[in-house]
Amino acid sequence: MERNSVLNERHRALGSKLDGDTWNGMPIPWSYNSDPHDEVVATRTRAGLYDVSALNIVNVSGPDAEAVLDRLVSIDITRLKPGSARLGGEVDEGGALVDDIMIIRDAADRFRISHGSGATPKTLAALAAGKNVTVQADRDIHILSLQGPVSLDVLAPHTPADLAALPYFNHMETTLFGKPVTLGRGGYSGERGYEVYCASADAVFLWDSILEAGKARGVIPCSWTALDLTRVEGALLFFPYEMPEGDTTPWEVNMDWAVDLDKAGDYIGKPAVLHLKGRERVKQAGMTVLHHEAVEAGSKIYDGETEVGVVTSASYSRLLMQSLAMVHLAPAKASIGTRLTIRSGGKNLAALVVPTPFYDPLRQRTHPDKKR
């Protein structure tokens, strides 16, 4: 089903043609007239405003909502407090990841789920059949994401909420510039940021108001190309690009945090995914490449003449002045400091396994208070 953001006219005015690949059925502003590398710098040093309304949001409510969602994912939904959210593993009966999903709890019997382009709608419909639960895709919701170190200073004066006290991956219902919204702390940039969930009728007003409020601090609108550059710098996974095998397990992409090993309740794929822990065929890793541009996703990685991995996502970071690659490697080749060769564009390029995230390796920007 085709969807359109009500912000499309704003995107066109900024130079987007909106004629590239869609995501979740929505045309995406992949580029503006501005340089996406400059947009990254703005996000890292000031703040950038992104339209991420293409995310799929589904409302799940009713007496059986918790039980249904607890069967869907490998995290323990019963522990999730109202006002908080968690990313969870969603796997099939074979233990393979089938979508990128966040469970957002608004109340005891009211949830929202944010998911990508995978199996969630079909699986959720099957789990909800015959249960006392309402599952409804929200086609009206728009999501504005303000990412960067001044995001709090820009938004806080315009909401009655105590935004400074809002923990990471928590949210609250409030108002912003007088409009009803849900404000959540999170994002996809590796920076402190906030996501504004609003009705389509208010989205243009809020977009304009945020940019006007942030103008003096250097806040600018940013494209999805910039968003992808920041997420690679932050080594953030994107389904299905970081799961090229088609049956990738959470353990193979370092998603141990998305599986609660002590979860008592049953869920789809539980026996398989627990059995596969410690049996990884590949490991997600990061590499820097001795090259002046991004390598191609899908490029093969070699140790001598032996193929040992594949590039899943890549970018050239002007901010870090490095060619970066998110990769899957044979576990024996994934140790920090391992030197390998990436074959991309007909060239053999020297590459080195390095710690991730590439940017802010301790994630202090998003988790400044976390004990390490």
pTM value is 0.96
Q: Counting Cβ atoms within 10 Å, is residue 96 exposed (0-12), middle (13-18) or buried (19+)?
A: buried
To which residue do tokens 């090259």 refer? Answer: 291
Domain boundaries, the chain: 8-52+141-233, 54-138+249-279, 282-372
The rounded distance, in Å, linking the Cα atoms of 291 and 283 is 23
CATH code at 282-372:
2.40.30.110
Mean pLDDT, the chain cut into blocks of 10 residues (372 residues total):
93 94 93 98 98 97 98 98 97 97 98 94 97 97 98 98 96 98 96 98 98 98 98 96 96 97 98 98 98 98 98 98 98 98 97 97 86 59
Query: What pLDDT score was predicted for residue 19?
Result: 86
Residue 280 DSSP class: -
Identify the H or E element spanning 201. helix 200-214
91 and 97 Cβ atoms separated by less than 8 Å: yes
**What is the crossing angle of helices 224-233 and 36-45, to 10°?**
60
Fold of 54-138+249-279: Alpha-Beta Plaits (3.30.70)
- DSSP E strands in 83-222: the ranges are 84-91, 97-107, 110-115, 134-137, 142-147, 171-176, 179-185, 193-198, 220-221
Question: What's CA 17's distance to the chain center, in Å?
Answer: 24
Q: Look up the CATH superfamily of 8-52+141-233.
A: Probable tRNA modification gtpase trme; domain 1 (3.30.1360.120)
